[in-house]
């Protein structure tokens, strides 16, 4: 798989979140899929639970409609800084990659903090139209502390 | 300013009612110090770990009772011991990780003083000094040093349904009496067989620890703040349910019974409650709410607390313990441990993984509790002398067959004031 296309997928992913085009976010996944937000600690100990766990595109869409219409939280947005992917292997037409990220959270009153760092562990394959999409994206955070709340996905 | 607060917080509660609480109680540093001594180091049982965390000899975990770091360890006899995580020599942490396994002793890394699994000081490096090149022993501890008198403070431990609690006070009653029969029954209802940990997360919150504990006990807010609870009828005040408060006030269990609301079904619509989005907000994939009756009593939601900082949660099949750890007067950590049972089928495991979306820092329900305490902390910054009004359902703190009440919040203050001497 062309590395430049994987880099582009990651860049689009970060951009749709950081520019608050949240409705575009589920479209970057296959259906069914697996999106999980967890920590390096939990992964190391073999603990399966996640802060967010979605195994269909519908569940991803529900995350977005909930954050748009339902959940109460103070205004905030993210800035993703996404590193370069490493290709770990190819299997069954899927490419496995790992990509480091850093997320700065910008709060309503202007405070900027490093909110999370970690790596994306992905399985990527093209959809029917040939566009690359995530079949699996496990967000493995380096730390286990999540300040106040996580409204927007990583 | 400290002096002024000191005067306030050591004199009298502004009004002798459980239904009024002064805001300085969330802001005052001398009061915080007193809480450490009188609550966390006082006659209370504090959650320290799960038995499942330390199944074998030498397994240990670290935790905190308020500000006091502790080690919880299983010894060779299978007993669980707990002692202050503070070397008797210079006060360094003896263990500086989350947990692990030691063979027969803990050794402080600073000067290699060692402790057995009961927390007794057993070894002092170079206790008798060192031989110089001339063969003469020099240095070491004085001959009269009584090693037995120097150990970290030891705590009493007790276990209940796989939970481990510790107390520093000889006065704390047995855990069953401390919790009270009604709330105890609700712990046994959930923790009825061996559990397995599914995940751990920490949620630092920008508020005094008591604001979160009150939130947990506040049955009134749940369906008014949390759209998810209301819209999907996970918990509405119009559903069957109630709140149990222990006689001393400190412990509670609220519950929602999953039966139709009957004549009250439209009450939220009539009051135009924001959180009732029935018909306006629907899930694309409702499998997140796909639940099964697990405990055979139609209780679909149970939130339970043990004074001062332990919480057990059952929302459908989503189970967790939460531990409130104070981090200074205006900060706290909420430590989440998601769990299931060892005999869960693969289907039940998947169901729990999905339902875990409801809770934790990113929980469809719980995320709002993460910010609301901070709103109170900030909203009251200039109001130390003012009071909050906690009067839904009256001014007393007994069990009630409704959740349109703040009885268990008042129960918290009843217990708090007794321990604090206010």
- Per the CB < 8 Å rule, is A59 touching B227? no
- Among B30, B295, B23, smallest CA distance to B185 is for B295
Which residue among B199, B201, B284 places its CB closest to the CB of A58?
A: B284
Task: Establish if A99 belongs to a structural domain.
Answer: yes
How many structural domains is chain B composed of?
A: 2
* pLDDT at B3 (0 to 100): 43
Does B153 share its domain with B187?
Answer: no
pLDDT of residue B2: 44
**C-beta neighbour count of B260 within 10 angstroms:** 10
The residue of chain A nearest to residue B357, with distances taken between CA atoms, is A52
* Residue B167 within any structural domain of the chain: no
- Pick from A124-128, B266-270, B303-307: least confident: B266-270
Instruction: Show the domain range for A124.
Output: 3-141
Q: Which of residues 98-137 of A touch B (CB under 8 A)?
A: none
Cα separation of A117 and A80, whole Å? 10
Structural domain contains residue A152? no
Q: Residue B262: its pLDDT value, please?
A: 72
Bigger pLDDT: B263 vs A29: A29
Scored b (16 or more CB within 10 A) or e, A91-113 reads eeebbbbebebebebbeeeeeee
In this model, does residue A146 exceed pLDDT 70? yes
* Chain A nearest CA to B365, separation (Å): 8
Q: What is the mean pLDDT of chain B?
A: 92
pLDDT of residue B1: 39
- Output the pLDDT for position B219: 87
Q: Which domain holds residue B324?
A: 182-420
Residue of higher predicted confidence among B232 and B402: B402
Same domain, B95 and B216: no
pLDDT for B12: 59
A144 Cβ under 8 Å from any chain B Cβ: yes
What CATH number is associated with residue A66?
A: 3.10.450.50
**Number of structural domains chain A divides into:** 1
B412, B285: one domain:
yes
Minimal C-alpha gap between A46 and chain B (Å): 9
Task: Choose from A76, A109, A146 for mutation: most chain B CBs within 10 A.
Answer: A146
Average pLDDT rounded to a whole number, residues B262-287: 79
Instruction: Return the DSSP state at A151.
Output: -
Most confident of B36-40, B145-149, B394-398: B36-40
pLDDT of residue B194: 97
Nearest C-alpha in B relative to A56: B285
The answer as to whether B189 is a domain residue is yes
Mean predicted lDDT score pLDDT of chain A = 97
A residues 14-43 closer than 8 Å to B (CB) = 37-39, 41-42
A1 at B interface, C-beta within 8 A: no
| A148 in a structural domain | no
pLDDT band at residue A47 using 50, 70 and 90 as cut-offs: very high
CA atoms within 13 A on the CB side of A4: 0
Is residue B336 domain-resident?
A: yes
Residue B202 shares a structural domain with residue B148:
no
Do B288 and B401 belong together in one domain? yes
Share of chain B above pLDDT 90, in %: 79
Burial class (CB in 10 A: 0-12, 13-18, 19+), A76: middle
**Which residue did the predictor score with more confidence, B21 or B11?**
B21
Under an 8 A CB cutoff, do A150 and B367 touch?
Answer: yes
Instruction: Answer yes or no: do A59 and B354 touch at CB < 8 A.
Output: yes
Contacts of B364 in chain A (CB under 8 A): 66, 70-71
Residues in chain B: 422
Residue B140 lies in a domain: yes
Q: Residue B277: its chain A contacts at CB < 8 A?
A: 69-70
For the entire predicted model, the pTM comes to 0.94
B87 and B188 both lie in a single domain: no
Structure-token pair, residue B411: 């129960």
Residue B233: pLDDT band by 50, 70, 90 thresholds? Answer: confident
pLDDT tens column, B90-135? 999 999 999 999 999 999 999 999 999 999 999 999 999 999 899 8
Looking at B122, B157, B192, which one is the last position of a domain? Answer: B157
Residue B285 is nearest to which of A59, A70, A150, comparing CB atoms? A59
User: DSSP for A108-126?
Assistant: TTS-EEEEEEEEEEEEEEE
Judge whether residue B365 has pLDDT over 60: yes
Give the model confidence (pLDDT) of B341-361 as tens digits. 999 999 999 999 999 999 999
CA B99 to the chain's CA centroid: 19
Fill in the DSSP letter of residue A51.
Answer: S
Rounded to whole angstroms, the Cα distance separating B415 from B191 reads: 25
């Amino acid at each position: 798989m062309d590395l430049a296309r994987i880099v582009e997928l990651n860049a689009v992913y970060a951009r749709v979140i950081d520019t608050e085009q949240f409705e575009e976010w589920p479209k970057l996944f296959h259906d069914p899929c697996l999106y999980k937000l967890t920590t390096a600690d939990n992964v190391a100990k073999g603990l399966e639970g996640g802060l967010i766990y979605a195994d269909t595109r519908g569940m991803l869409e529900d995350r977005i409609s909930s954050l748009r219409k339902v959940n109460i939280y103070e205004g905030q947005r993210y800035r993703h800084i996404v590193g370069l992917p490493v290709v770990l292997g190819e299997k069954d037409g899927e490419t496995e990659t790992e990509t480091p990220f850093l997320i700065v959270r910008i709060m309503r009153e202007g405070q900027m903090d490093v909110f999370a760092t970690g790596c994306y562990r992905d399985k990527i394959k093209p959809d029917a139209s040939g566009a690359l999409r995530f079949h699996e994206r496990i967000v493995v955070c380096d730390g286990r502390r999540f300040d106040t709340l996580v409204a927007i996905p990583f | 300013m400290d002096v002024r607060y000191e005067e306030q917080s050591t004199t009298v509660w502004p009004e002798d009612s459980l239904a009024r609480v002064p805001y300085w109680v969330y802001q005052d540093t001398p009061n915080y110090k007193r809480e450490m001594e009188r609550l966390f180091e006082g006659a209370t049982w504090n959650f320290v770990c799960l038995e499942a965390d330390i199944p074998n000899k030498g397994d240990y975990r670290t935790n905190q009772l308020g500000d006091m770091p502790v080690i919880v360890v299983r010894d060779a006899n299978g007993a669980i011991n707990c002692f202050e995580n503070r070397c008797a020599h210079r006060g360094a942490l003896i263990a500086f990780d989350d947990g692990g396994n030691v063979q027969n002793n803990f050794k402080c890394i600073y000067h290699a003083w060692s402790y057995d699994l009961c927390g007794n000081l057993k070894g002092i490096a170079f206790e008798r000094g060192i031989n110089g090149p001339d063969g003469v022993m020099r240095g070491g501890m004085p001959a009269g040093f009584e090693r037995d008198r120097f150990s970290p403070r030891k705590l009493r431990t007790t276990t209940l349904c796989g939970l481990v609690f510790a107390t520093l006070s000889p006065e704390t009653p047995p855990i069953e009496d401390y919790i009270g029969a009604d709330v105890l029954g609700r712990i046994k209802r959930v923790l009825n067989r061996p559990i397995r940990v599914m995940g751990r997360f920490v949620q630092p919150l920008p508020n005094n620890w008591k604001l979160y504990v009150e939130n947990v006990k506040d049955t009134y807010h749940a369906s008014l703040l949390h759209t998810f609870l209301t819209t999907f009828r996970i918990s509405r005040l119009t559903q069957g349910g109630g709140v149990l408060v222990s006689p001393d006030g400190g412990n509670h269990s609220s519950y929602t019974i999953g039966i139709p609301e009957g004549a009250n079904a439209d009450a939220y619509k009539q009051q135009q409650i924001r959180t009732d989005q029935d018909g306006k907000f629907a899930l694309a994939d409702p499998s997140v709410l796909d639940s099964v009756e697990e405990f055979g009593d139609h209780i679909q939601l149970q939130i339970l607390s043990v004074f001062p900082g332990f919480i057990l949660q059952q929302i459908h099949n989503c189970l967790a313990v939460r531990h409130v750890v104070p981090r200074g007067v205006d900060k706290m950590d909420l430590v989440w441990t998601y769990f299931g049972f060892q005999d869960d089928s693969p289907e039940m495991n998947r169901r729990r993984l999905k339902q875990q979306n409801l809770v934790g820092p990113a929980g469809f329900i719980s995320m709002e509790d993460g910010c609301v305490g901070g709103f109170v902390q900030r909203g009251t910054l200039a109001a130390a002398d003012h009071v909050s009004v906690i009067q839904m359902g009256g001014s007393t703190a007994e069990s009630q067959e409704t959740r349109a009440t703040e009885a268990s919040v008042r129960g918290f203050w009843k217990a708090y004031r007794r321990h604090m001497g206010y």
